[in-house]
Amino acid sequence: MVLSYYLLKPFYALAWRVLNLFQKRQETLFYCHTPVDMENWLPVQKHLKPIRVVTDKADTYKALKQSGIKVGRLPAFPKAVIMCRVSSHKFPSQQVLKIGMTHGAYHFKRMTSAQNYRPFSLYLFTSQRDLENAQKIGVTMGKVGGFPKLDPYLPVKHTDAKDLANRKARILFTATYEQSGMSAIQHWLPQLPELTDKYEIYVSVHPWTCKTYIDALKAMPQVHYIQGSPLPYIQKADLCVVDTSSIIAECTALGKPLISWILPDSPRMVPEIKEILDKISIRIKEISELRPAIARIITEPDMFSPERVWANTIFFDALDGKAGKRSAQAIIKLLPDLKL
């Protein structure tokens, strides 16, 4: 638990109790840390009564307002809060019922301490394997909800081979943030302009990626730097170049061939993920291996297709477009007043 939880708890808890004396707390809120959270939340919200969105992040507040979403500011003192984070310290009172959901598919980095899950009455994971991994570290309130973020993109729309013959192949490059020690952006970013003569290039990087890299991407006019959701671009891509982020699961869910970088071990790296990547992707270590790997996948797009289907059974329990409904049903069991 972060230090602010212990510093703010006495004041927040007292304020909550006083407000509850004057007017019984009835409201359920959705706490939004980044706009990515909304992408996972909206497919759930459609199955519930409307829930007010709040944030304490200025950039998130601005982005949500610009997209037409009504959003409030913290502090707030609700009956219950739902979030796609492990951020119970934003509502430091045991009187506030807390429900959590993962904001990424599966856990591609080592999970946080079980202590951070304990304030939650329910935490929804993307698959049974994901839940079992959480239980191994001591999480006791978990259930499988699925990954609602994918619902609008299912069932999968497959690329027509004739379509590819009449255009440049579309390649999506993705990267986690470099401070994690699990990013490969330094390997491929300088080479992107050289690829645009033959390929249509899209790039999606973690929001915490350093400004130097982002500025470099924005300065490449023939490279499409994605500043919103990468899912529409995953959907239209012919292949994805990845490192170790949870976007890998989104790529496999949408049936995309993968090229993945072999990276040195880091403290947050999960050995299981390396083993999965060995089975479902072309693995490369040097930039000189990239072009041959791309050419191979374009000529053999079904390479590793059965292995990607197998990986989906680890990352997700179902890819039927109904994860939002299942998550809503789990929430309603704790908060029946949210039922439509």
Number of residues written out for the chain:
340
Q: In this structure, are residues 216 and 223 in contact, taking their beta carbons and an 8 Å threshold?
A: no
Helix spans in 230-289 (H): 231-236, 247-253, 271-280
Whole-number Å distance between alpha carbons of 164 and 88: 47
Shortest CA distance to 31 belongs to which of 113, 89, 110?
89
Q: What is the DSSP string of 53-120?
A: EEES-HHHHHHHHHTT--EEES----SEEEESSS-GGGS--TTSEEEEE-SSSS-SBPPPPGGGGTT-
User: What are 209's two structure tokens?
Assistant: 């990626």
**Digits of tens for pLDDT over the chain (340 positions)?**
677 777 888 999 999 999 999 999 999 999 999 999 999 999 999 999 999 999 999 999 999 999 999 999 999 999 999 999 999 999 999 999 999 999 999 988 888 899 999 999 999 999 999 999 999 999 999 999 999 999 999 999 876 666 777 889 999 999 998 888 889 999 999 999 999 999 999 999 998 899 999 999 999 999 999 988 999 999 999 999 999 989 999 999 999 999 999 999 888 888 899 999 999 999 999 999 999 999 999 999 999 999 999 999 999 999 999 999 999 999 999 999 999 9
The pTM of the full predicted model, rounded to 2 decimals, is: 0.93
Shortest CA distance to 137 belongs to which of 123, 148, 151?
123
**What b/e sequence results for 223-239 when a residue is b if at least 16 CB atoms lie within 10 Å of its CB, and e otherwise?**
bbbbeebbbebbbebbb
Map tokens 């529409």 to a residue. 232
Domains located in the chain, CATH noted: 3-152+320-338 (3.40.50.2000), 155-315 (3.40.50.2000)
